[in-house]
Structure 1
Amino acid sequence: MRTFFAAITLCVAGFAVSAAPTAPIAPVADAVITSKGMPKKLSDFGFFTDAAGWKPNKGVELYQLNSALFTDYAEKYRYIYIPAGQQAVADGDGLLQFPVGSALIKSFGYKIDGKDRLLETRLLLHRADGWIALPYVWNAEQTEATLKVAGKRIPVSFTDPSGNKRDISYAVPNKNQCKECHSLSGAVMPIGPKSRNLAHDTLDMLLSNAMLEQKSGYHPPIANYDDEAMPLESRARAYLDINCAHCHNRQGSASNSGLFLTYEEESPVHVGVGKRPVAAGRGSGGFEFAIAPGQPDQSIMMHRLKSLEPGVAMPEVGRSLVHEEGAALLSEWIAAMEKD
């Protein structure tokens, strides 16, 4: 899986050793993060020291995941900010609990006409009354990102990892759509940074920078679903965890489905094996089971994963393309299961 993590790190390193700036760089605006307002410009937060959003400010740290959510083959650049002197702590499920004033920053982009361009930057801000999700869209000049609470469609042409030319209408989610995924028991919450899904280098960075409490519980890492050297089932379960389990968990928005796709789920039926849908409809494709062992083409899960039809396609938001590699992985996993 291609990322720009190393490239950005080099860029930041080069910036750090260059000649000192003529004027001091303003720190991250803690008061803006915790205020009740919704700033119109991303630059108001001070998360980056450059106008183009590539050089993180002091205290804003790049991080990586073992397995990442698919979003129409977009490249993603993830950052964590925790107020100085405070720490995150992993709860019993390994989800990091961040102090008030923290921010999770995620920029999305593509290589377009040979240049890396950002389309949007999504923020999760931890305020005294809980988390708030805000989407910001970058201008054509790549000098500022502006708040778009109603979301936006952006036409994009790019080449996918298999060399296929793609033309899509990229969807920046509106503020309410952010809630659809980032929700646990009805409250907006982070979903990606669980200790078991943070890359080893990221965990080391958080600990060495005193951003994560040393005594936080250990949780065995989940697989990188792109790594074909890992066991097939581990890869498939990791894929479902990061792409589906933010809704399909016992406290998520799809809890009434009885389909729980977290990495820790032990019940085969709750993962979908031999499970009939709670409410049959066109989303089922006329098939009987979420997962029909040995028969991916007869499984509702595969039907919905391969569909682009509204009301059928899963996940419901965040993609306008079929993730061909993800579909192939899950199909191989289901095909390997013994038929009843």
Structure 2
Amino acid sequence: MTKWYLRATLLVALLLLAACQRGMDPVAFHADGRPPQLSDWHVVEVRGNKLVLNQGVVPYDLNTPLFTDYAHKLRTIWMPKGTSAKYNPTDTFDFPVGTVITKTFYYPKTSSGKFTDVARTYDSSRDFAGEGLDLSNVHLIETRVLVRRESGWAAIPYVWKDDQSDAQLARTGAVIPLTLVDDKDAREDFNYVVPDESQCASCHAQDWVSRKVHPIGPKARHINRDYHYASGTENELEHLMKVGYLTGAPAPDQAPRNANWADQRASLDARARAYLDINCGHCHNPNGAANTTALTLDLTAPEDRHLGICKPPVAAGRGTGDHFFDIVPGSPDDSIVTYRMSSADPGEMMPELGRSTVHREGVALIKAWIAAQSGGCVAIH
């Protein structure tokens, strides 16, 4: 391949990117209030048949993502010029005032042509148009905005219009009837629930005393991974450092890294702990909303009663499924954790928010992890 061809290809890519961004106003930091349209932020906007990212908006992904009814997600970060986040090896980075983080939830379309039919698939190969999304192949559902203001972080939900032209403010949330369709045409009707502002805050309040909202995903262990940027594949920590959005990060091989829950090359323990960390750890940690349960599911928990091994539940009720312990080594079907993960009943399921369906593959992972543990528990009657 000649240098001339590479230069020509790069030039075409840059021209296409500029064309996508042409006509977009600069990203707007709203220091207060709740703008009525997602487009008021100018972070991501529909241009033609694509959802495009504005200049300076950086996409990212997580090693193991939070499960949300099989939805796919496009995550972005933007910061005001001349500002950057400070690296933290364990907690959320210290982001400057003016930071805008977005997460757009969407599904690949199915061949049925029905607007409410969405694909139950992990295949994202047809989702993207550059760093944005190809609207001929995907159905946008909602975009959540986290904005860092002088008073702290604010969570603002937006729901996409049926015509996919823009997303509207949904302070009280929304319920959207959808049908998951898998590659064998099996169908599952469910209600996709967009959380209201208070529900957003309940998950993002890492400290239940102060109840201040913080981002969950932008932590070193979650984003220490490669991403396919328009400029090429690069480690996310290194890329954020290069564009000036992060300071103080070590080399990726010196930073913590969670496993990809679906990567069979990683150990079963690493995959299961990463899954519990992102799906449960934001509440089940010593300072979180579920700290009164004495069940710790983030990566700080040693593999003993803190992690639920042979630990009786603090509160009885039907959420236990008449089981005696959170985790019974070797016996996933006797464990409260997998019982609650396997339920879609609002009075039983865990997590309590963020899903209306059961993550079958996630349940299978945690069951396999518990089944591989040795030992047992003695029930006290």
Matches within 5 A, 1:206-217: 206-215=240-249
Aligned to 1:184: 206
Aligned to 1:170: 192
Distance 1:243 1:160, change over 3 A: farther
| Percentage of matched positions with identical amino acids | 41
CA-based RMSD of the aligned residues comes to 2.2
Shift of 1:335: 0.5
Matches within 5 A, 1:82-161: 82-114=79-111, 115-160=137-182
Aligned to 1:6: none
Indicate yes or no: 2:249 matched with 1:250: no
User: Which of 55, 80, 92 is equivalent to 2:52?
Assistant: 55
Distance 1:307 1:20, change over 3 A: closer
Distance 1:138 1:65, change over 3 A: same
Letter in 2 for 1:279: A
> For the residues of structure 2 that align with 1:291 and 1:162, how far apart are their CA atoms?
34
Aligned to 2:66: 69
Shift of 1:36: 1.5
> For the residues of structure 1 that align with 2:27 and 2:52, how far apart are their CA atoms?
13
> For the residues of structure 2 that align with 1:277 and 1:313, how far apart are their CA atoms?
15
Deviates more, 1:309-318 or 1:19-28: 19-28
Aligned to 2:40: 44
Aligned to 1:17: 15
> For the residues of structure 1 that align with 2:305 and 2:361, how far apart are their CA atoms?
25
User: Which of 213, 218, 222 is equivalent to 1:193?
Assistant: 218
Letter in 1 for 2:106: G
Aligned to 2:350: 314
User: Which of 284, 289, 306 is equivalent to 2:320?
Assistant: 284
Is contact 1:73-1:160 (8 Å) kept? no
> For the residues of structure 2 that align with 1:66 and 1:309, how far apart are their CA atoms?
28
Please report the TM-score for the alignment, with normalisation by the length of structure 2: 0.81
Is contact 1:112-1:158 (8 Å) kept? no
Is contact 1:67-1:242 (8 Å) kept? yes
> For the residues of structure 1 that align with 2:249 and 2:327, how far apart are their CA atoms?
39
How many residues are paired up? 326
Match of 2:46, SS state, is coil
Match of 2:246, SS state, is coil
Aligned to 1:8: none
> For the residues of structure 1 that align with 2:263 and 2:314, how far apart are their CA atoms?
34
> For the residues of structure 2 that align with 1:202 and 1:234, how far apart are their CA atoms?
21
Letter in 2 for 1:102: T
Residues 154-211 of structure 1: per-residue CA shift (max 9 Å, x gap):
1112324776423221111111110111112211111111111102422121111111
Letter in 2 for 1:39: P
> For the residues of structure 2 that align with 1:162 and 1:213, how far apart are their CA atoms?
47
Residues 233-256 of structure 1: per-residue CA shift (max 9 Å, x gap):
000000000000010011100011
Is contact 1:248-1:262 (8 Å) kept? yes
Match of 1:321, SS state, is coil
> For the residues of structure 1 that align with 2:348 and 2:59, how far apart are their CA atoms?
35
Please report the TM-score for the alignment, with normalisation by the length of structure 1: 0.90
Q: Which runs of 5+ in 1 are unaligned?
A: 1-12
Match of 1:312, SS state, is coil
Indicate yes or no: 2:333 matched with 1:297: yes
